[in-house]
Amino acid sequence: MGKIVCVDDSLPGITRRRAGKGWAYYDPAGELIRDPAERARLNAIALPPAYRDAWFCPEEHGHILATGYDEAGRKQYMTRRGASSIGTIRISARCATGPNTTPAPLSAGSCR
C-alpha cells in the first residue's frame, strides 16, 4: 500500500448518481468513470446509499475516502483505518480551545 496522502474534500472529487441497481461515478471533470478497477475501489468504500452530495477522493491513498450528508444533514466521513484516530485527536485538540474561539486551521502537512 502507498503512503497515505492528506486530501481536502472541498476540492473537486468523484461524484455518484444512481444508475439502475447501482451507481455511476463521475470524475472531477464530470466524465463517466468506466475503468472497472476504479469502479470497484469506489464501490468498496460502501458509502451508504442514503447519503447525499457524495464526494469520493480521486486519490487512491487519500486519508479521507469519501464524505456525504446523512438524512439529518450532518456531514459524515469515511476514512482509512488509522487516519480517523489521527484526525480525531487533532479535531479534539482544536475543539478544546472553547466554544467561543476559532481554532487555527490545520496546515496541509498536518495530516501526516
CB-count burial class (<10 Å; 0-12, 13-18, 19+) for 63: buried
Is residue 10 in a domain?
Answer: no
Is residue 5 in a domain?
Answer: no
pTM attached to this predicted model: 0.72
CATH number of the domain where residue 70 is located: 3.30.66.10
pLDDT at 82: 54
Is residue 9 in a domain?
Answer: no
How many whole angstroms separate alpha carbon 62 and alpha carbon 88? 16
Structural domain boundaries, residue 93 = 15-111
Number of domains observed in the structure of the chain:
1
Is residue 24 in a domain?
Answer: yes
The stretches in the chain having pLDDT less than 50 are 84-110, 112
Is residue 106 in a domain?
Answer: yes
